[in-house]
Structure 1
């Protein structure tokens, strides 16, 4: 899911403005430049030249792309900035240079966000080449003489590696204010974070490596599960033209190990859903992009597996429950404290136990729904059950979630008469949204169920990660460990999968199996935990565990300035639901035979 994403929650760190400014001291330098010409046509067919802006003291040129999540977010933010400064002789023009962005796509991009500034197409990326634009979003600010005075990001709230609830530094607005006041721009150059502009490329017609001969197979195996029609990723990679347009970006995310999203090391157990490119596959993609991403012959691939429209499920769901009866309004901005978790209840009216062999929580809008958890709750026991939300849950959706099949004969049980409670975390994306999410369930015939799947956890609530204020420093520690041990597993338990959970200061997480004879075995190590990719790691070979075994988990947190997603390095952090709090939960999933479902001990 390339960038949703990319995308999701954090909080203002206004107490740390001076320290954050220091982080920008190493910004690249601004090369002197003058905007000599501008001749672009917007999606409505109107032509724009420099003469159209001759009465404006400040001209902002912003580069966007219709499919880039960061560009989508900042196009709306720039709309508000343009309106804020409209009476101060400040004008904005947006430019879209990606070769895959048609006038139709550009029109939809602008109309959907009610953009008030012109949005123009840059054919063959000539204007982007003229001024040296590289990314979307990226802004260029010119004074009344059309000399370049600022270049870079709009602010530092969102990037490919972080996502704050509020900006720490509003770079574009500060530059505008300084120019209006007749001062030099204090930080004239910042790095723009986002998607690489898809330029028209010279193709090496002699290249033996083409999309059809080599690359299609790699993308089908590793990427197309998400990058296809009606899936979570923001763009498709199902044909050569689409893949070619994104070739430079594909190379970058592979080099930086952002894609495919997989954060566990390969030194311990093996996982059936592992997403990792081989060295040979990486090299093939690199050489293909360097050759101009040639298409080559039509790839010899079977059709994509059919799937229900709108679902990852293996078949149409037997039951669809709405998370809410009516769409929920999500505000454009979260404010410094974010949107608190919301709870909703549905009564499915089951008169008999239901065995669920596949389930999917489908967010109504992946841009503003961070996670959904579902719980089966017996009426009258809501307080007790929901107080253990960090211990067990029924089904869940988190960023990067994939519906993975359970082993044959395995299912989760929803007891007769139980209600379904949903916990939802909304994350505003810059524009007001209406959202209605759903849960789809695929039922198993009870006589076919041999094993019940359960979820439990090793968790610790009593911890306090020190912040800089308590330590008398500018930041907290970068390696603060918290450990927890699970309850004893049933004697007939078989481990199936692991779902580590922390928040924004989460750095690494591991699981050890500890048996009664004193042996300890590492099963999973996640050295680079990512809050925006909360993967469930499914064992390639389910593991039967000795009676009396427990899982021991170690979580490491980074409360320092080097953690770009840190809401406030000065603050002590304790356990809590909200993103600016922390959690230490090592969820794990196991099965027991249905004919002798021993309960885990409550030690």
Structure 2
């Protein structure tokens, strides 16, 4: 193994600085273009220029990889790749634990194998602050990384080539010229995934190099969806921040800034004194080992490594995930950060995420067992569902007979995933044999659901939900592959009331199945409504649409009163089938009605849209649509 020089020569230092200065030189007359979704692509960033002189250690093998003069016998070609003819190197920037990045690891392994005989070599580059060689090597082995993982300590390479996010790829040919930079493909985004990629930008660029036709490669970069890299030293952002496909409503953000302004933060904010408690309350339910959050936020070291991404998603209110307009209703399961906590998190990251003096609070204890206590009865799906390492999965529906010979009353219900790392959410319905079967899901009763961080369904004292004798439970499971193949057997536990309750809880599906969404329609409205036929109490909501769902609103209309918005979800997210539980039950008077207004986006601008050229009607498959406003109510 070649030893690392203790101190570079002055000439080498000057060559390195010259290379870096060359790389960060501003191009005149930058090229701009529109992407497939109409958004402006980033300007040309160093494509067509020669990369600098870099030496990075492979944390798995211990070998050094030299990136200066790829064709030199004692450089990259000679030292690392030996006698094999090398056409290009692909540098993929990674951030261990980033959910978006780990979804792509199997795909990258496939590409590395496919192009190996063509002389294309893949390298993963870890540039995030707080990473160590030991941790990186363990992660690479755990994830089965099939190509070298290089440690960019001090983010020198990331700075020089202006990379800001994981998942960005740099393709360098045998002459040391950068030929492509940008995304792997467009399959996975921040809030949606496609069954298959529509654009395979990285593979297309490699094909062009293999065919000796680099002119086919568009010199404009492609937008990258990935986790922001936390740097050891602050620097200007080279790339524009990527917006969500459906960003938080601008007028909601303005209202929050006015009515819930960030207070001044006195003194320094530290992990030990401030941030650990916030993470425990709002983040760790999902962000811990074995859960769906991807990376852990249990320790200071965990949070420091992800601090740049934490600041980004908190700043744009993407996390913690909560889609209800705060101007309407109060909900016991509201996941939002308070204005003070949000300001503290942003101030902490801006100060380079200090640990602080003293001792961090005791770790939060998470229940390994049932949150509702020991259930009286448990129903588990009969066979394990296989979940692949990559791609997307349609909803999986599994029916489980209850074998109840008489009606039972449910006081509390809790759905639990078998593998929380891949179960995004669960909805458990009750198929009552005495109810109509011709309405599909809309005719089923909602029992309970699971989403990371949500609470189980526990009814107020004196209230319970009836499950009729002979009913079947229908599990609707949404799986999100995370880069590792696994299986899941989810289940639901019920606590039964010993006697009939004072009030019966039921679920109503306020549905409209008679709609046609025209091809290309960006904002197609659909309405449903239900009258209040007896005095009752409203307990919770759950809007349900599919991939074209854009917004959903519940409004209470009463004679002699102005309409009142009960719940407004202006940026509906199919990936989060959220259950909105009122902080206090709401009385509904006889003669009132609840109106549901949904809006669907069947345009090409909707990234999750399966096919914008087709008219869409009601159906249970995700490429079809549904319009259901579920509500839980109770009455004597």
> Same fold, TM exceeding 0.5?
yes
* CA-based RMSD: 3.1
Larger radius of gyration: 2
Q: Distance in 1 between matches of 2:38 and 2:424?
A: 28
Match of 1:456 in 2: 508
Matches of 1:173 and 1:350 in 2, distance apart?
Answer: 55
Q: Secondary structure at the match of 1:499?
A: strand
For residues 122 and 355 of structure 2, the distance between their equivalents in structure 1, rounded to whole angstroms, comes to 37
Structure 2 Cα separation of the partners of residues 371 and 277 of structure 1: 22
Cα distance 1:344–1:263, how it changes in 2: closer, same or farther (>3 A)? Answer: closer
> Where does residue 404 of structure 2 map in the other structure?
350
TM-score by length of 1: 0.83
1:419 and 2:463 correspond: no
What secondary structure is seen at the aligned counterpart in 2 of 1:465?
A: coil
Task: Choose the corresponding residue for 1:574, options 601, 617, 630.
Answer: 617
2:255 paired with 1:195: no
Structure 1 residue corresponding to 2:149, chosen from 89, 113, 119 = 119
Q: Deviations over 1:49-103 (max 9, x none)?
A: 4231473111001111221111111111111111111111111011223345555
| CA distance in structure 1 between the aligned counterparts of 2:619 and 2:57, rounded to whole angstroms | 51
Q: Give the structure 1 partner of residue 198 of structure 2.
A: 168
Equivalent pair of 2:414/2:448 in contact (CA under 8 Å): yes
Which of 293, 296, 300 aligns to 1:240? It is 300
Specify which of 73, 80, 102 is matched with residue 52 of structure 1.
80
Aligned to 2:209: 179
Does the aligned pair in 2 maintain the 1:64–1:71 contact within 8 Å?
yes
CA shift digits 1:195-242 (9 cap, x unpaired)? 11233358xxx9622122332333334333433455442233333332
**Which residue is equivalent to 1:320?**
378
**Cα 1:388/1:276, change in 2 over 3 Å:** closer
Q: Secondary structure at the match of 1:242?
A: helix
Equivalent position of 1:329 in the other structure: 386
**In structure 1, the residue corresponding to 2:614 is in which secondary structure?**
coil
d(CA) in 2 for partners of 1:425, 1:33: 45
| Structure 1 residue 512, shift from structure 2 partner | 1.0
Q: Which residue among 277, 282, 293 is the counterpart of 2:342?
A: 282
Distance in structure 2 (CA, Å) of the matches to 1:274 and 1:427: 23
CA contact (8 A) 1:154 1:172 kept: yes
Describe the shift of the 1:384–1:517 C-alpha distance in structure 2 as closer, same or farther (beyond 3 A): farther
Is 2:183 the counterpart of 1:146? no
Q: CA deviation at 1:134?
A: 1.9
* Distance of aligned partners of 1:405 and 1:226 in 2 relative to their CA distance in 1, 3 Å threshold: farther
Taking the TM superposition and a 5 Å limit, the aligned residue runs for 1:314-463 are: 314-323=372-381, 325-331=382-388, 339-366=393-420, 368-378=422-432, 384=437, 387-389=440-442, 392-397=445-450, 401-403=454-456, 405-426=458-479, 433-447=485-499, 449-463=501-515
Alpha-carbon contact 2:105-2:483 (below 8 Å) kept: no
Shift of 1:485: 0.8
- 2:538 & 2:139 partners in 1: Cα distance? 46
Contact kept, 8 Å, 1:308 with 1:315, in 2: the verdict is: no
Comparing 496-505 with 405-414, greater Cα deviation is found at: 405-414
1:35 and 1:147 in contact (8 A); partners too? no
List aligned pairs for 1:205-220, cutoff 5 A: 208-220=268-280
Residue-by-residue CA offset, 1:500-534 (whole Å, 9 max, x unaligned) = 11122222110011336676322111112111222
Work out whether residues 450 and 456 of structure 2, in 8 Å CA contact, stay in contact via their aligned partners in 1: no
1:308 maps to which of 361, 367, 388? 367
Do the aligned partners of 1:400 and 1:535 also contact (CA within 8 Å) in 2? no
**Aligned counterpart in structure 2 of residue 135 of structure 1, from 160, 165, 179:** 165
Residues 67, 505 of structure 1: CA spacing in aligned structure 2 closer, same or farther, 3 A cutoff? same
Q: Give CA-to-partner distance per residue, 1:263-306, whole Å, 9 cap, x none.
A: 222222222222333433333222211111111134675663x4
Q: Which has the higher relative contact order, 1 or 2, with Cα contacts under 8 A spaced 6 or more apart?
A: 1
Q: How far apart are 1:153 and its partner, in Å?
A: 0.9
Aligned to 1:23: 38
The structure-2 alpha-carbon separation of the partners of 1:546 and 1:441, relative to structure 1 and needing over 3 Å to count, comes to same
Residue in 2 that maps onto 1:3: none
Matches of 1:158 and 1:56 in 2, distance apart? 30
- Map Cα deviations across residues 283-335 of structure 1 (whole Å, 9 max, x no partner): 3222211111111134675663x443165x23344433221x2322345566x
How far did residue 542 of structure 1 move?
0.7
- From the superposition, tell whether residues 126 and 193 of structure 1 become closer, same or farther in structure 2 (CA, over 3 Å): same
Partner of 2:5: none
Structure 1 segments (4+ residues) deviating >6 Å: none
The answer to whether the Cα contact below 8 Å between 1:399 and 1:532 also exists between their aligned partners in 2 is: no
TM-score, normalization by structure 2:
0.79
Distance 1:506 1:355, change over 3 A: same
Q: Which runs of 5+ in 1 are unaligned?
A: 1-17, 468-475, 594-603
Q: 2:332 aligns with which of 272, 281, 292?
A: 272
Residue 579 of structure 1, CA deviation: 2.1
Q: Secondary structure at the match of 1:237?
A: coil
The alignment covers a number of residue pairs equal to: 556
Deviations 1:21-62 (A, max 9, x none): 473663321213414223212224344342314731110011
Q: Could you say what secondary structure the match of 1:39 adopts?
A: strand
Partner of 1:528: 571
Q: Secondary structure at the match of 1:78?
A: helix
8 Å Cα contact 2:408/2:469 also seen in 1: yes
Q: CA deviation at 1:445?
A: 3.5
Identify which range, 524-533 or 114-123, moves more after superposition: 114-123
Matches within 5 A, 1:49-128: 49=66, 50=76, 51-53=79-81, 55-103=85-133, 105-107=135-137, 109-128=139-158
8 Å contact 2:410–2:497 — kept in the other structure?
no
